[in-house]
Amino acid sequence: MPGMPPGQPGWYGPPPSTSNTGRTVAIVLGVAAAAVFGIAVVSILAITFLGTSATSKFSSVGTSINSGNGGINSDPADGFCDEDRWVQDPDC
């Protein structure tokens, strides 16, 4: 009852706190966790995409190097030095 001094019958103490600090902290932490999760997912997808692109690019470069492109780097290491191809032959 309003106006009653403490310790008298009917007095139940101060009114409960109306602070929303706990709720605000929980919301901020939830938003931060969601942002970190979103950044992680986007990063993983980007790395996967770049890895796939790099694999196909390296594959095409390797194929062009090995497929009769004027003889550059197409002589295997076979233990025989071909004097006519001493620049390309790793055995010379």
- Tell me if 50 sits within 8 A of 42, measured CB to CB: no
Q: How many residues does the chain have?
A: 92
Q: What is the pLDDT of residues 47-86, one digit of tens each?
A: 998 888 877 777 766 666 655 545 455 566 677 777 777 6
Flag whether the pTM goes above 0.75. no
Domain segments of the chain as ranges = 44-92
Distance CA 82, CA 91 (A): 8
- Tell me if 38 sits within 8 A of 31, measured CB to CB: no
Distance CA 85, CA 74 (A): 10
pLDDT at 74: 59
Handedness of CA 15, 18, 23, 28 (dihedral sign): negative
Place of tokens 């007095």: 11
* Position with higher pLDDT, 41 vs 81: 41
